[in-house]
A and B are shown apart, each in its own frame.
Chain A
Amino acid sequence: MPENKPLPIAFSDEDDYSILYARYFSKLFNYGHKFTADNVLIEDSIQDVFLDYWKRRHALKEPSALNSYLFTAFRYSLFNKLSKAKKLVGMEGVEEPDFASANIFYAKEEDAVRAAQLRAALDQLTPRQREALFLRFYEGLPYETVAEVMNISVKASYKLMARSLAHLKECLSPALFFALFQFPMLPR
């Protein structure tokens, strides 16, 4: 279903609903895979979210809120299941699920030195910073929605994003690049 068409809330047509389901199943599955490789867990979370959504679809009046609703509910459900699973194997005390660094990379960087720097910079980001980048630059969500999904204030989402990008932008600066290139053994 195209983004620009208002998503139906009360589904007179089952076809529309199946398309909506398929589209968000793929989106959420992809999102969930950033935190875990457990397909079953991811799918269970999606099913929970959609059953809940189906029950209260009439209460959700604002179609534009759907994106935000589904992502938020999915993240909540998945994180719950992940923390339960961790408790079962005695891994308590582990904080939020890890948005693995392998999921984010720089495409088409030909300069090997710069590529290595970017890789290092991406690895240094916190899981939450990576997740914010994903929601903003992969899913294209506005800051307000990123904030809602990640359960932080809009202001905090701006800060989180700015910090991540500021960290990455250091690799952008030719001066620094030059300096590092000249003195690779420079002590930190």
Chain B
Amino acid sequence: MEKPAHKHYEHFGSGDLICDPFFQDWVLDANETQHIFWQEFMAAFPHKKTEVEAARDFLRQLAFRESFPEPERVELAYRRHLEQIAAVTKDALKRKRGVTAMWWAAAAAVVGIVALTLFFERGFGGREKVNESTAFGIKKQVMLPDGSTVVLNANSSVSFGKDWNGAQPREVWLKGEGYFDVKKSGNNTGEGWKFLVHTGALTVEVLGTRFDIRERRGVTEVVLEEGKIALSFLNKAHKGVRMTPGQMVVYDPQKGIKEIDTTNAVHYTAWKKNKLILRNPTVAEIALYLEDNFGYKIVLEKEEMGTKKIEGPILYDNLNDVLFILSTVLHTEVIRKDSTIILRPR
């Protein structure tokens, strides 16, 4: 909105001010310019100060009853929404199939739809698939058909076939982060029953073991706690990796594969017990982790705050506790606005 002149408001009473959109904007969501404007106005017309303050307080006190849905309801609704999308996409695909032969021009569009269908079938299950997912701030233990378990971290999902028979490998698709406890080969053939976990970029092959996969922002981390696993990558330029307990592999398609020996894999799987333990994490790393798991955007007002290292375990099941610790260590105040959290130097 165009900034008016101070003089414009010279004869405004509080009643006029509350009706003025420019004044309302200041009350609703003040920025620096607006602050300065109204400070200058009150300085120029001191007798208007009480009017301005009365009008501001009046608008600020206007309140509304809030009725927000429980997180479970939102999560369920989102899953239903994805099912609806999958249904729509399938219908569209059926209709297209009849005519594709004639329409080379339409080929590109169909490829798009096929890709989408595959995406949703893979990620969210056709009829015989099970999909489990978690919303921000929520964890869940999922039982797989063979009795193996996955603990899903927040904002994550797994899907898998409803029934597993010994003829097929056990296959699970993961988005986000999951901690797997895999039963040793459940079929009686003597052969190991393959267990495969697919993420966007790689596949983990296991034979009864405990390990953690975290796929966030395109980077996949696998930490092996016990047993043996082998990784293969979607990008065939990379050779497979056999992992031994205590080892961690970080895969970034941009930077390649990094193998790290960690004496204490438990640190990386501690999130199951609501402990955020990263090895000498920087504040920026913690911020990213919180964003991934709680869905907040975290803004560090001074960039150098991000490089500060923090040691020791932080309980993370309570976002407020983490923010309190961060604000104490960094000497910042915490400003929450909608889904953004700002850390501002005190």
Contacts and interface: CB of A to CB of B under 8 A. Distances in A.
Interface of A: 1-5, 14-15, 18-19, 21-23, 25-26, 29-30, 33-34, 39, 43, 46-47, 50-51, 54-55, 102-109, 133-134, 136-138, 140, 142-143, 158, 161-162, 165-166, 168-169, 172-173
Contacts of B24: 136-137
Given A23-B339, A173-B15, A106 B136 contact: no
A25 B155 contact: no
A169 B193 CA distance: 75
Contacts of B69: 25-26, 29, 39
Given A22-B74, A140-B28, A162 B19 contact: yes
16 contacts: A1-B339, A3-B340, A21-B74, A25-B78, A34-B65, A47-B84, A51-B84, A104-B64, A105-B65, A133-B62, A137-B28, A137-B59, A140-B28, A143-B21, A169-B58, A172-B54
B254 interface: no
Interface residues on B, range: 35 or more
Looking at chain B's contact residues, is the secondary structure mostly helix, strand, loop, or mixed? helix
Contacts of B84: 47, 51
A163 to B, nearest CB: 9
B85 A25 contact: no
Nearest to A28: B69
A21 B54 contact: no
Interface in B55-72: 55, 58-59, 61-69
A125 to B, nearest CB: 11
B61 A2 contact: no
A5 B295 contact: no
Given A14-B123, A18-B155, A172-B55, 11 more contacts: A21-B78, A22-B135, A25-B69, A34-B64, A39-B73, A107-B61, A134-B64, A137-B62, A165-B19, A172-B15, A172-B58
A21 B85 CA distance: 13
Interface of B: 14-15, 18-19, 21, 24, 28-29, 54-55, 58-59, 61-69, 73-74, 77-78, 80-81, 84-85, 88, 123, 135-136, 155, 175, 295, 297, 338-340
Contacts, number: 113
A108 B85 CA distance: 46
B15 A166 contact: yes
B274 to A, nearest CB: 22
A115 B80 CA distance: 44
Given A14-B123, A26-B68, A104-B62, A21 B81 contact: yes
A106 B62 contact: yes
Contacts of A169: 14-15, 18-19, 58
Contacts of A106: 61-63
A137 to B, nearest CB: 5
